[in-house]
Structure formats: structure tokens, C-alpha cells
Structure 1
Amino acid sequence: MNCFYKLFRNTNSAVCALVLFSLWFTSGLKGDAKKGEVPAEAWMSSLPSHLLISSLTIPGTHNSGALYEPLRGTAACQRLTIVQQLEAGVRFFDIRCRHESDQFAIYHGPVFQHLTYAQIEKTMAEFLRKHPNEVLIASIKQESSPRRNTRSFEDTIREYISEAKALYFTETTIPKLGEARGKIVLLRRFASENNLGIAATNWGHNGFYQGRQLFVQDRFELRDVKTKWELVERGLEHSIQSKNQGLLHLNFTSGYVKNVFGIPNIVTVSNEINQKLANYLAEKSRCRLGCVVTDFMTPKLSRYVFKLNFERNPK
């Protein structure tokens, strides 16, 4: 009887140990971390807080809220919603706001995207509450012509910020991760009388720009896709070779070519460039590329980008 009790007790101990090990092992396999990967929704959380955000490799989306278009290839730049982009690891957002009735509506050119800035802000706030160690960069630009307003574009964005002060980082300097965790870093592409956020007003139209804080490759009016890839690759290599860790690189892979009728076609560019970019990133080990900003971002492509912040990351 005593022998049976000892055997039963030992067996129970073994089973308990096995169960506990199983629970411990599977607890780390959340989301896309099931293969030992860094979780896309919280990839910044394990990075040291002393790092400048400009020293990182960050997935970004061009015209982040543009999912609708009247004619295929002319206005939509993403298929993932803002929520889906956040969960996929995107941390740089290109937000185009039409100023109307003293509020911001999201547009791409003249095309309304059935989205408001207030909705984007709410989505980002909810995400950051769940993932307080992440940092979001919002590049805000005035789009289309303003109408029915009683105040300036700057006054309206200041009102959004004043109603959620704790949510924003509006200093003029490039922050460290620890300074901006749980916040939206404002990158300002509009005029400001009081130096609100990181200034990007000298960022020109359709080309390269380099200033004290920013390096931008944003050539989007194209004759051919080959030229665009050469520009993207040049921008990526500039990021790798730059010794200035305080210089934030923004490398846009987006653009369009016109068809025989003179109508812009976005998809023609993104289909080819995104594949070239994936191939390029797959061959890289840990390096600093800045913000890699694409049309039609996917979870897989986003992972190719942010994995370059870590020593060991599976493809």
C-alpha cells in the first residue's frame, strides 16, 4: 500500500511538473510570437529606453488611412485598417487631414476616406493603453482645400492635443524611447507659430530632403519602377552608413506611374517595389534603416522591417 502511495505521489509530481512546464512554455507563445518571434504588437517593449527613435528600424505606412478609391489604383494606399497596422507592428503613420468645419477628416487628394482624425486618435490611444511601451509617430499634413473653418489648421490640431495631453509628445526634439513610450510623437508637416512638434515643413515635394533632424526620400511621381527602387535602395544605404544617430530617416517606397490615359496607378509600383523590399530586408541582419514607409503594408513585410532591431530574428 505504501509502495502504491509513493508511486502515485511521484506520478502526480511528474504530471504536475509537466503541466507547469507546458503552461510556462506556451505563455510565451502569444500572437505571432508562437515561433519564438518578437510579438508584432509589442516589439518596442524589449528595446532599451535610452535609444533614440531615430536609431531604430521602424515599419511605416504611406497615406495610412487611405483604403478607398473611385477607380482602382488611383487613391487607396493600404488594405489594413489603422488597428490592423498597429497590430502588425507599424509605428510610423502618414496622416492626411482635410480641415473642414474646424475638424480633421482623412483624405487622399480629393477622396474622402470615411475616417476622421478623432477616430484615428481614439484607436491609437486604445492601442497604447494596452501596449504602453510602444511609441507611435504621426506625420500630420494638410490635405485638399480647407472649408467652413473659423480657425487655423494649427489651432485645430492644438485642440485635439489639449484634450489628450498625456497622449502626445510635442517637443521639437527627437525623443528617446523612454521619453515617448505610450505616446504619439508629432511630426509636423504644417506651419506652426509656436514650434509644435518635430518640424518637417521644409520637406519638399517629390524628392529628397535633408535637414538637421530629418532625411527624407519621397520621390513619388515616377516614369518607371526601376528608378524608384534605385532611390529606395539609396535611401536605405544612407540610413545604414549614417553615423548621426539623431537623424531620423524617412524612406518612402510609395509612388505611382501614369497609364496610357495619364491616370496615376499606385498598384503598379507597390506590387514590384514591395517584393524587392522584402527580398532586400530578408538578406539583412541587425541594422538601422529609420522609418521604411510603404503602400499596402502587410504583417509579413512589417516583420521584415522591425526584426532588424534585434540580434536574432527568424525570417
Structure 2
Amino acid sequence: MHHTVHPTRRTVLRALAASPLLLLAPAPVAAAQSSVGSADLAAGSFGRGDLDTTSAPDWMRSLPDATSLAALSLPGTHDTMAHNSSIPTLTQEFDLATQLRAGVRALDIRTRHFRDVFPIHHGPEYLYANFTDVVRTVTDFLRAHPGESVLVRLKEEFTAAENTRSYQATLDWYIHENPDTRDLLDQHLWTPPVGYDGRIPGLGETRGKIVVLQDFTATTAYGPRWAGPRTDIQDDFELPDLAAITGKWDRARTQFERAAVGDPTTLFVNHLSATGATPAVMATGTVPITVAKGVPGTPGMLTRAEDYLRTASTGRTGVVMADFPTAALVEEIIGRNVS
């Protein structure tokens, strides 16, 4: 399959050396280890993430079947599959299987429609994974943990090219025809009932299932509409500089407060993630990892969210979409669910 090629590690390092992002790793050390992955490179200054140190593979199992997914507090990952991409697009440190094992139950899966299949992208960058990989990993997890449900924002990403059919037709091919995915999705994909009105389903009908949050154009419903009437989303994702993290946090905190008291049938979504305005991200140093983890003098979104959830009154968080989520953040969100 043809795809967009990553910048070479040396190209990335040269860009880092010329920008405020030099703090990610000392250039001489990184150059000597040119085969290192982006997540490892980024960890050179920020410290290795700890999401793999927590384990909550069955946290939904004890919750009542009557519970709406909208009424839950759900840890999520923004650009879920971007765990070994170039520095400007890197959003995660751990692969999908590790995220699910840690307790993450909301995924952000971005599919480019290219040559009648779905490679996974972050913008123009191919992430060396395809939709089949996502389906296999999530259904493997659900087969082992049948009490869980996984929300998947399925988004059409970048530009479609060299296709003979619509995006919807290719998705239907994965669901009904592709031998690598059809049986898995037949068992583990939640299908809206006849006359579906867009409601957020309950746990009893979605255990062991993938629930699509539909962020693509189609003539039929595959699940609740992303940014539709049953959702309330905070996604202020573009910041001019690192000083703007404070304003971003103000909007995220407000969304936490709204979710805690809002309509229990509405799916509240709160993005902790943000990045700089393209193409200046390398010049300003405002890339996902600096927004998430902060820099000297400017606490990142993760620290702010962890502190808030530890000290704020109890209540639903809704779906919390994070870049580089920590074990503490995931544990705090899961802890908001009362069995």
C-alpha cells in the first residue's frame, strides 16, 4: 500500500534542534540513537509514561446493565493510534492493547479512504496501522473481557484517493465481506435497532461490543452521531503558544463542571488534547506532548486534570479524551463510576 512516509529520525532531530522542542531530547544523544522510536525520543526529557503500570480490564463488569454509556465517566485517548509517529503528530506512548488493558474505553480512530481500504492516519501521516489491526485488537480484548464496551469515534481523515466506491461502501465491506474482519464485527459490533433515534445505548445491550460514534457521512446510522444532538463536545484543539494552555484548561474545567450536572442521556466529551497552529508547531514548541505534559513554568493539561479530579466533588466526567494519559488520570476517571 502506498502511504505518506514519516520524516526520517534525523530530519525530526534537525527540526527539534532548531526549535523550542530541543527540550525533548539532547540532540547529540538522540542522533547517536537514530533507530529509537518517537515515543522513546520524547520520553528523553519528559520521562517515560506510566499507563502500562495500571490495569483495569474489567472495570465495567460490575456496573448495572441499565446504565447508559452517556452516564459513565470514560477514559479515552485522542488520536489513539499515534504512538510512534513523528513528533508533531505523536499523541500516545502506548499501543492500543495497552490502553485497553489500562481501562481506556473511548478511542479516536481516524481512517483515510485510500484504494478501497482504511489505513489509519493522523492528518496526512500514515500511522503504520490499518482498520483491520484496530478491529482485531479491540475484538480480542472484548472476547477476553465480555463485560466491557468500547466507544470508537470513527472519523474519515485526510483526503480520499484512488477509490472505486464510497467510504460507507468500504465500511460495509469490512463489516460484511472482508474475511479478516466480518466475523469479528458480526460478533462484536453494536448495530442500532430499526427506527434508531440516535440515543446513546446502555451497557446491557453493548457489553462485548464496539459502539461507533459516527464521524463520517453515510445514508444509514452506524451509531450515535459524533457532534450530533445527543453529544456535548469540548474540543478547543488549536493553541497559538504554550501560554494558551491556561485558557485551554479553563474550557476543559468548565466542561467537567457541565458534565457533572448535565443531562444524563447526553454524552459529554472533554478533550484535554491540543496542539499548535500548523505549520508553526515546531517553532512555537506547542505540540501534543508539551500541551499534555507541560514545560517548566507551565503545567500541562494532565497535571491540571489530575489535580482537579482529585479535589473536585464527585460527579460524571463524561468521555475524557487525552494525549499521553497517565495511570493516575485513568484511575481517577474510572473511580467516578459507582457500581
Q: Which residue of 2 aligns with 1:247?
A: 266
- Residue 44 (1) aligns with residue 42 (2): no
Q: Which residue of 1 aligns with 2:212?
A: 186
Superposed counterparts of 1:1-315, under 5 Å? 40-70=56-86, 72=87, 74-162=88-176, 163=182, 164-171=185-192, 172-200=198-226, 203=227, 211-223=228-240, 224-242=244-262, 244-257=263-276, 258-259=280-281, 261=283, 264-271=286-293, 272-284=300-312, 286-310=314-338
Higher share in strand = 1
Kept in 2, the 8 Å contact 1:42–1:134? The answer is: yes
Kept in 2, the 8 Å contact 1:80–1:298? The answer is: no
| Alpha-carbon distance in structure 1 between the residues aligned to 2:306 and 2:273 | 14
| Alpha-carbon distance in structure 1 between the residues aligned to 2:125 and 2:53 | 34
| Alpha-carbon distance in structure 2 between the residues aligned to 1:118 and 1:100 | 14
Kept in 2, the 8 Å contact 1:222–1:256? The answer is: yes
Task: Specify the SS of the correspondent of 2:111.
Answer: strand
Task: Specify the SS of the correspondent of 1:309.
Answer: coil
Distance 1:285 1:134, change over 3 A: farther
Kept in 2, the 8 Å contact 1:135–1:185? The answer is: yes
Which residue type is aligned with residue 191 of structure 2? T
Task: Specify the SS of the correspondent of 2:110.
Answer: strand
| Alpha-carbon distance in structure 2 between the residues aligned to 1:41 and 1:195 | 29
- Greater shift, 258-267 or 220-229, is seen at 258-267
Say how many residue pairs are matched: 264
1:297: Cα distance to partner? 1.6
Task: Specify the SS of the correspondent of 2:129.
Answer: strand
| Alpha-carbon distance in structure 2 between the residues aligned to 1:299 and 1:100 | 35
| Alpha-carbon distance in structure 2 between the residues aligned to 1:270 and 1:63 | 13
| Alpha-carbon distance in structure 2 between the residues aligned to 1:306 and 1:54 | 14
| Alpha-carbon distance in structure 2 between the residues aligned to 1:198 and 1:106 | 21
| Alpha-carbon distance in structure 2 between the residues aligned to 1:79 and 1:88 | 13
- Greater shift, 61-70 or 224-233, is seen at 61-70
| Alpha-carbon distance in structure 2 between the residues aligned to 1:232 and 1:88 | 23
| Alpha-carbon distance in structure 1 between the residues aligned to 2:67 and 2:102 | 22
| Alpha-carbon distance in structure 2 between the residues aligned to 1:131 and 1:167 | 12
Instruction: Using structure 1 for the length normalisation, give the TM-score.
Output: 0.79
Distance 1:59 1:140, change over 3 A: same
Kept in 1, the 8 Å contact 2:79–2:108? The answer is: yes
Task: Specify the SS of the correspondent of 2:283.
Answer: coil
Instruction: Using structure 2 for the length normalisation, give the TM-score.
Output: 0.74
1:41: Cα distance to partner? 0.6
* Structure 2 residues without counterparts, runs of 5 or longer: 1-51, 177-181, 193-197, 294-299
Which residue type is aligned with residue 77 of structure 2? T
1:40: Cα distance to partner? 0.7
| Percentage identity across paired residues of the two chains | 32
| Alpha-carbon distance in structure 1 between the residues aligned to 2:96 and 2:282 | 33
Which residue type is aligned with residue 298 of structure 1? T
Which residue type is aligned with residue 292 of structure 2? S
Which residue type is aligned with residue 256 of structure 2? L
- Rg: which structure is higher? 1
